[in-house]
Amino acid sequence: MSQYRTFTVADAVDYAQKFGGLDDPASLVDAQEVGDGNLNLVFKIFDTSGNSRIIVKQALPYVRVVGESWPLTLDRARLEAETLKVHGTFCPQHTVNVLHYDTDLAVMVLEDLSDHTIWRGELVKGGYFPKAASQVGEYLAQTLFYTSDFFQHPHAKKADVIRFTNPELCEMTEDLFFNDPYQVHERNAYPATLESFVAELRDDNELKIAVADLKHRFLSHAQALLHGDIHSGSIFVTQDSLKAIDAEFGFYGPMGFDVGTAIGNLLINYCALPGLLSAREAAEGREQRLNDVREVWQAFTGRFRELAAEKTRDQALAWPGYAEAFLQQVLRDTIGFCGTELIRRTVGISQVADIKKIASEPMRDECLRHAISLGRALILAAPHVQDIDALIARVRQNG
């Protein structure tokens, strides 16, 4: 049995040589630690020609962005690897390939995506990838349908709910999404200039009841195996390809959480663009983000309807009209969770480059206000929005 130790560069190279599955493992000679996330070590492994060939990722026993004062389970490496493997079974074209993983070392070997780029970074620069939104929708439809009661045998589904129980990372999500932004908390990270604006969230009874309802749905609706953190920073893209990575928050939860998180990050970019680009470029980029939101939803629901019509195994769920009614419930959840994503990314600890890259502090504050205001508006509007065009109209109304 392996004994956990934190990998060095040399350890990562040695591990890649053993478990990378290459015909010429001795050609792997160097590594660079490139992890810029909150939780893990990530090593790029290079060959003798200086080409990146393999990724080695190791979970740390604490939250990296905070330090050892916030310990965290190493079992998340198993959960991530197995979530990616399941998602890769049903949607291999849009899921990073897991080549090997070791539960005891909390380490996995992944395909190298050096020919791809992180979607968030490109959006921040005003980049556009015309296929990405529909590919995200396809990924969501395939992974969520095939791990749901529509397709899974009830016994297998119940066993998988247990297998993918993820209490520590779910608790992190519960705190960061539904608790911290709505109270005074040391983890919150908004500018002091927004204190009075953020304080309104803490005093808004209607909002806090709606957030409580969303949290309860997150806690109790085990609809499908979620990625759990599917945002533009956990998606790699090219002009033709898209791959989801970083699934350590995977668990069985409400489908709308994944869809809402994906759409919420597109809307964060929508709010941030006036601080990142020229006025003309920002206006064009914002229109494109709204089109992206529409494409994500339409691709997701279009493929989900097709799969439901052709592949549903449960007799009751196959009844004509039910899939459409179910998707209406998912839309409500999507909009609500989208709103909580906007607020947690602006008020809470998990700030994103879309906002952080804004050089002007007054403009950054204005973009933050817009995102927070939009998040609140969407949480409250969620039960009343009937389709994707109505959602986009609500976004436009908010400014």
DSSP symbols for 326-365 = HHHHHHHHHHHHHHHHHHHTTTSS---HHHHT---HHHHH
Q: How far apart are CA 191 and CA 366, in angstroms?
A: 11
The total of other beta-carbon atoms located within 10 Å of residue 331's CB is 22
Amino acid identity, residue 144?
Answer: L
In terms of domains, do 92 and 129 share one?
Answer: no
The pLDDT of residue 67 is 67
Residue 250 region by backbone torsions, left for phi larger than 0, else alpha for psi between -120 and 50, else beta: beta
pLDDT at position 320 over 80: yes
Q: Confirm if 274 and 369 have CB atoms less than 8 A apart.
A: no
Q: Where do we find the tokens 């604490």?
A: 62
Q: Which pair of tokens denotes residue 321?
A: 């009209």
Domain count, the chain: 2
Work out the end-to-end distance of the chain between its first and last CA atoms, rounded to an integer number of angstroms: 57
Q: What is the CATH number of the domain that holds 73?
A: 3.30.200.20
Task: Give the pLDDT confidence of 223-266 residue by residue, as tens digits.
Answer: 999 999 999 999 999 999 999 999 999 999 999 999 999 999 99
Q: Confirm if 164 and 324 have CB atoms less than 8 A apart.
A: no
Q: How far apart are CA 43 and CA 12, in angstroms?
A: 7
In terms of domains, do 228 and 304 share one?
Answer: yes
2 belongs to a structural domain: no
Average pLDDT for residues 93-103, to the nearest whole number? 97
- Boundaries of domain holding 104: 9-111
In terms of domains, do 215 and 128 share one?
Answer: yes
Say what the alpha-carbon torsion angle 68, 72, 76, 77 is, to the nearest 10 degrees. 20
Task: Give the pLDDT confidence of 169-204 residue by residue, as tens digits.
Answer: 999 999 999 999 999 999 999 999 999 999 999 999
pTM: 0.96
SS3 state of residue 65: coil
Of 77, 94, 111, which residue sits at a domain end? Answer: 111
Q: What is the CATH number of the domain that holds 309?
A: 3.90.1200.10
Of 57, 83, 111, which residue sits at a domain end? Answer: 111
3 belongs to a structural domain: no
Q: How far apart are CA 141 and CA 36, in angstroms?
A: 29
Average pLDDT for residues 40-58, to the nearest whole number? 95
User: If you count DSSP H runs as helices and E runs as strands, how many of each does the chain have, helices first?
Assistant: 14, 12
In terms of domains, do 320 and 353 share one?
Answer: yes
Which of these ranges, 1-5, 169-173, 206-210, has the smallest mean pLDDT?
Answer: 1-5
Confidence of residue 37 (pLDDT cuts 50, 70, 90): low
Q: Which pair of tokens denotes residue 244?
A: 């989801």
Average pLDDT for residues 122-142, to the nearest whole number? 98
